[in-house]
Structure 1
Amino acid sequence: MAKKIPLTTAQALIKFLNQQYISIDGVETPFVEGIFHIFGHGNVLGIGEALQENPGHLKSFQGKNEQGMAHSAIGFAKQSLRKKIYAVTASSGPGSANLLTATATAFANNIPILLLPADTFASRQPDPVLQQMEQPLSAAITTNDAFRPISRYWDRVQRPEQLMSALIRGFEVLTNPESAGPVTISICQDTEGEVFDYPEEFFKKRVHYVDRRQPTERELNEAVALIQSSKHPVLLAGGGAKYSEAGEIIEKLASTHNIPVVETHAGKSIVTPDFPQAMGGAGVLGTAPANQVLMEADLVIGVGTRYSDFTTSSKTLFNFETTKFLNINVNRFQTTKFDGLQVVADAKATLTAISDTLSDYQTEFNDVLAQYKQNWQAERSRLRQTTFSRTDFEPEFPGHFSQDKLNTYADRLKTELTQTSALLTINELFDENAIVISSAGSLPGDMQRTWDAKGKNTFHLEYGYSCMGYEVAAALGTKLAEPEKESYAFVGDGSFLMMHTELVTALQYDKKINVLLFDNAGYGSINNLQMEHGLNSQGTELSNSQDQVMQIDYAKIAEAYGAVSYKVNNLEDLTAALLAAKEQTSSTLIEIKVLPKTMSNDAIGSWWRTGVSQLSTSPKVQAISDHEMAESKKAWLY
């Protein structure tokens, strides 16, 4: 008879997590690195007790906000190329509900994360307990049902023995590249402490093998034929290409056959800017070279991308009458986009097979790629050297703010620094292996468009969900993933105010992160969107009741937490602060005061469809609406 081990549900959970391994390309490593937790009603006496008693190899971190710690776990898994994860546990009710935003972020980005929200009593005898909502429709509905539509797998454990099937099914999803995403297993709080005789076999070492799915012979032959019949193919590298570690074979294909490479937000840094065929980021936030080659393309080879609206310029970037699509993805659903040729297989394996078959094929781009890049470097140089003038300044977004208003901003913020000159100065000073993180506001546009990622996998942009507040928390996650590298969160003042609590966690556990806070006293990205579509500025600037720009000292906030902080408003001080921060052993924050309207503007081919009113008393709004409707009709309907 099989041996039984009496354990509580929570103890069994921790024991199981310690025994999960993943094997990729013959390299076997533990899959679960540790657990982020905020203990409270529903999990402190269950999972909390189990972690105290026998944590095994699992590391344990006390988060400061449920959303923040889950974003740290996402940042860790993303930077680890989905080879390792952190679990996250929160108390029942509002604590668990705070995880919803991060869960949706993981879902949109296909990032594995194990969520363990505490649930109400399975027995229902004490109901309604503290922090329990009552749904008259059904006593079986709890807060945690809200996780169902944003989880790749969802389960509720109401009896100790249910834990076994829940975890086995959950880890199949977590370790499967096709289905990778958030797994939510809600454990009722009384069940966490209940004892069950678990079979010893349940706790055996489990190795989850990730075998690279090869393209079928038909898929390969059709893909090669499609490429060989094209004259101007473009390789569009997405996050799936990065997770597949396809960078080397992408470079081989591109250099051998002179195929330009453009990157999505998740794919950026799969090649470096000095690579001759690297054209930069694509789409709304893209570079002119990347968008130019996509507009000229007769074939788009989409590798590990879901073709989001920002990547495709709301489906207006391509000429659908002349452009064909070859879609390579482990997820079959994603290969159906734009009626492309579907290759449901691993990116690295597929591109390797294509490379072995293409022979002496050459595109007809010839020397034009070098010219496109040279023109773009001239534009980057202009942005780097842009300086403010109090008399005749031409901002990147002209016509939004008057010269007087910009002067007022300069006086209140005590700065004349432009955002692009600050960003590109930072870029020049960065080490090759330093990791940059961003997510929301105007910074993702500047970074996707102008940032030169000097090292592979050093650009960490969450733009699948563009979740405000992701940046500081994810910087902690990337630091945990690659502790030998400097980790920098690029964050606007609006996003910093939304969420920065895990800076305290980084300080608490001596995990150095660096926060580069660009303060333009408002939500610049949305203000631009608002004013570009004919509206006045409203509710997007940080102004007080006297309509004066607020003067917030963010450096003091960081200093109060215990971080080393710097305040800069010119390039000389910025350079000094960056060099000093690099030498610090503790977390740092550099508050960079920049003027509004000085972020980079759209490149060629950039257009984003938004919900403009189709009926307005404003002639300007109406004209923009009519133009948008005309543009949208050019888009592919699928």
Structure 2
Amino acid sequence: MTRTIKLTVAQAVVAFLEAQYVERDGETTAFFAGCWGIFGHGNVAGIGEALLEREIAANAGTDEHILRYYQGRNEQAMVHAAVAYARHRDRLAAFAVTASVGPGSTNLVTGAALATINRLPVLLLPGDVFATRVANPVLQELEDPANGDFSVNDSLRPVSKYFDRIHRPEQLPAALLHAMRVLTDPAETGAVTLALPQDVQAEAYDWPEELFARRVWHVARPLPEQARISEAAELIRRSRRPLIVAGGGVIYSRAGEALAAFAEATGVPVAETQAGKGALPYDHPRSVGAIGATGTTAANALAGGADLVIGVGTRFSDFTTASRTVFSDPGVRFLNVNVATVDAVKLSGLALVGDARVTLEALIEEVGGWAVSQSERDRAEALAAAWEQTVDEAYSVDSGAALAQTRVLGLLNETLAPRDVVVCAAGSLPGDLHKLWRTRDHKGYHVEYGFSCMGYEIAGGLGVAMAVDDLGEDRDVVVLVGDGSYLMMNTEIVTAVQEHRDLIIVIVQNHGFASIGALSESVGSQRFGTRYRARTATGLDGDLLPVDLAANAASLGARVTRANSTEEFRRQVSDAKERGGVAVVHVETDPSFRAPASAAWWDVPVSEVSGLETTKDARAAYETSKHRQRQYLAPATERSK
């Protein structure tokens, strides 16, 4: 006879999550690090009560492992913190996030999209309207006259990798198992949503005891079939100018050593995407730095002449391919190593569907003693050295009264320890970081650029800091955030203070949207709507707004300093590292100074007709660049014959 345990649906969810573990390479760890939550009428009596019971049990010493509750200030920010945590943990640990029905739930949508686009696990537990519908319409219910089974939570469907609504307790076990299947699958992971009607959350049920037994989910390292590996090795051996593009899959697979071994054995240079930056240390002999629209002159020059592009764990986004213009050799072929089939088949490449680490190890064996010519090695090293000189110049530039943004990056790079983590997400900073930041550790670079979500930075930094603490790592976490992103979301400063986390936040104040301002200018729109200025009779072209972001950060509980010179900035960052806690360094920068570029293109369509001369000129330049764009339709195997 099956033994049962009487619990509410919410209590059963919490008990199940506490029993979930993940294992890879013989290392087993609890999968859920905790649950972020903001409570309202849609979850306070259900999930809220269940989390309270567990906390009381832990405080009484009756249970060691609990789903610890963390109090957020903004639902979107809670998801950002959860996603950043999962990224630093290589997707082997995650958070649940609970929100109330209505605006609390819809605030999750942006964070869910970010998680799914970046393929990072997070479990969303939004409250929902009554399953019984006896009191409809309830507070915050969206009534649809054509659909009775509809709520605002349905907005989470297109941004979730798995979505379910639990109308009855009997549905919960299958939904929970499906949720874990997706969350622990490297190829399919992302946001998972289990919508929980508020009356169902509080409903009691006799659950089979085995539902709450310890369950270990194995994360496999699949290896492509031998025939495909042999075919890939033949492509490599027949190439003369190959280039590796290392993506985030290298980091998540912990394939850095295998990548280094392959590059060293074959001499193939390695370029990095945003997510893959840190796959090799910046000064590794085979590293040529960032590739694509925000790439280095070295990587993009090699990409332009590459006859074989070996993508490892990359999605080949438009920034990586410079909108499909950077790989310009007429006979270029693609070989794609990826655990996700959807990425492995991109650009008509030969698909090696498998784990990055074991696939690279297999390729090393298969290619034998093959290597690129010494002249190609020398060329790659010379290009990389020339770019490093450019970085030196950008790091040391003196732009006048206010520091150049590149100077701030240089000072920060010099001041931080090799294992420290820089966190960023949107604006001009990610592009400058991608091409200029000298990463020395595979976890030293954390830039969210799949969704490039303004407001991710501080919440994401908090998530990284929590992961660092849980792993017992000796790292400082430094958030770089522009004034635009800071104004969008800064509330988790309060949470970082509440949780006693060490977090350094550098606010780069340039009084507007620097990145979009430059883009606006390049497409002929004259930086319209990108400056933070007071309104006058002719538009938003008045004085600088009297906004004091440093004072704002101080009001949220942070320890704040203002850096007005090179010496002050260096000293204040060093002091923040030494003292710990939540420290904010505010620095004014010169928005007119631009970082060095590699002349790579990004496809942003320009108005085909316009009365503005600036737009007409931009359109002419756009059409010229558009002609360089390619679709890469010929199969790799066809081009190799």
| Cα distance in 1 between the residues matched to 2:291 and 2:83 | 24
| Partners of 2:102 and 2:141 within 8 A in 1 | yes
Residue 93 in 1 paired to residue 79 in 2? no
Aligned-partner SS, 1:11: helix
Contact kept, 8 Å, 1:42 with 1:91, in 2: the verdict is yes
TM-superposition CA deviations, 1:12-64 (whole Å, max 9, x none): 00000011000101111111110000011110110000011125422211000
Helix, strand or coil for the counterpart of 2:366? coil
Report which stretch shifted further, 316-325 or 38-47. Answer: 316-325
AA at the equivalent of 1:596: P
CA RMSD across the alignment? 1.2
Rounded Cα–Cα distance in structure 2 between residues aligned with 1:2 and 1:534 = 71
The alpha carbon displacement at 1:509 in A equals: 0.9
8 Å CA contact 1:157, 1:185 repeated in 2: yes
What SS class does the counterpart of residue 489 from structure 1 fall into?
Answer: strand
- Equivalent-residue separation in structure 2 for 1:78 and 1:7 (angstroms): 33
Residues 1:349 and 2:358 aligned together: yes
Q: Tell me the residue number matched to 1:315.
A: 324
Q: What residue is the counterpart of 2:390 in the other structure?
A: 379
- 1:621, distance to aligned residue in structure 2 (A): 1.4
Percent identical pairs in the alignment equals 39
* Residue 7 (str. 1) matches residue 7 (str. 2): yes
In structure 1, what is the equivalent of residue 44 of structure 2?
A: 44
Q: Does 1:632 align with 2:618?
A: no
| Aligned 8 A contact 2:11 2:50 in 1 | yes
Judge which range, 583-592 or 623-632, deviates more. 623-632
Instruction: Tell me which residue corresponds to 2:510.
Output: 520
1:616 aligns with 2:605: no
Matches within 5 A, 1:102-141: 102-141=111-150
1 CA distance for matches of 2:396 and 2:210? 65
TM-score calculated relative to the size of structure 2: 0.94
Secondary structure at the counterpart of residue 309 of structure 1 = coil
Show CA shifts across 1:444-491 (max 9, x none).
Answer: 011001000122211001000000000000001001111242111111
Q: Deviation at 1:320? A: 5.3
TM-score, normalising length: structure 1: 0.94
**Could you tell me which residue of structure 1 aligns to residue 500 of structure 2?**
510
What SS does the aligned partner of 1:89 have? strand
CA distance in structure 1 between the aligned counterparts of 2:384 and 2:441, rounded to whole angstroms: 19
Residues 241-390 of structure 1 mapped to structure 2, 5 A cutoff: 241-319=250-328, 321-364=330-373, 365-389=376-400
2:460 aligns with 474
In the TM superposition, what are the counterparts of 1:183-582 in structure 2 within 5 Å? 183-319=192-328, 321-364=330-373, 365-389=376-400, 415-483=401-469, 484=473, 485-546=475-536, 547-582=542-577
Task: Give how far 1:601 is off.
Answer: 4.0
Q: Alignment partner for residue 586 of structure 2, among 569, 591, 596?
A: 591
Q: 1:437 Cα deviation (Å)?
A: 0.6
Partners of 1:599 and 1:6 in 2: CA distance: 63
| Matched-pair contact (CA < 8 Å) for 2:112–2:191 | yes
The counterpart of 1:84, out of the listed 89, 93, 96, is 93
The 2-side partners of 1:226 and 1:350 are apart by 15
**Counterpart contact for 1:282–1:291, Cα < 8 Å:** yes
Q: CA offset at residue 598 of structure 1? A: 1.8
Indicate conservation of the 8 Å contact 1:72/1:476, yes or no.
yes
Alignment of 1:137-176 (within 5 A): 137-176=146-185
Q: State the alpha-carbon separation in 1 of the partners of residues 89 and 148 from structure 2.
A: 40
In 1: Cα distance, 2:148 partner to 2:503 partner: 44
Partners of 2:283 and 2:562 lie apart in 1 by 33
Could you tell me which runs of 5 or more consecutive residues in structure 1 were left unpaired when the two chains were aligned.
Answer: 390-414
**Contact 1:338/1:636, CA 8 A, preserved across alignment:** no
Aligned residues of 2:493 and 2:557 also touching (Cα < 8 A):
no
- Unpaired segments of 5 or more residues in structure 2? 56-64, 537-541, 634-641
SS in 1 for 2:507: strand
Answer yes or no: is the 8 Å Cα contact 1:236–1:302 preserved in 2: yes
Is 1:70 the counterpart of 2:65? The answer is no
- Asked if 2 retains the 8 angstrom alpha-carbon contact of 1:614 and 1:626, the reply is no
What is the CA distance between 1:572 and its match in structure 2? 1.0
Cα distance in 2 for residues equivalent to 1:185 and 1:633: 46
Is 157-166 or 541-550 further displaced after alignment?
Answer: 541-550
Do 1:215 and 1:349's aligned partners in 2 also have CA atoms closer than 8 Å? Answer: no
Structure-1 separation of matches of 2:621 and 2:575: 49
Q: Using a 3 Å threshold, how does the CA distance of structure 1 residues 434 and 69 change in structure 2: closer, same or farther? A: same
Contact 2:51/2:68, CA 8 A, preserved across alignment: no
Alpha-carbon distance in structure 1 between the residues aligned to 2:627 and 2:189:
34
Counterparts of 2:236 and 2:203, CA distance in 1? 60
Q: What letter matches 1:37 in structure 2?
A: G
Decide whether the 8 Å contact of 2:338 with 2:354 is kept in 1.
Answer: yes
- Report the secondary structure of 2:21's partner residue: strand
Aligned-pair CA distance for 1:535: 2.1
Alignment partners' CA distance in 1, 2:396 and 2:620 = 37
Q: What SS does the corresponding residue of 1:147 show, helix, strand or coil?
A: helix
What whole-Å deviation, never above 9, does each CA across 1:44-91 have from its counterpart, x for those lacking one? 110000011125422211000000111000000011110100000000
Q: Distance in 2 between matches of 1:77 and 1:139?
A: 36
Q: Distance in 1 between matches of 2:627 and 2:138?
A: 54
1:97–1:143: 8 Å Cα contact kept in structure 2? Answer: yes
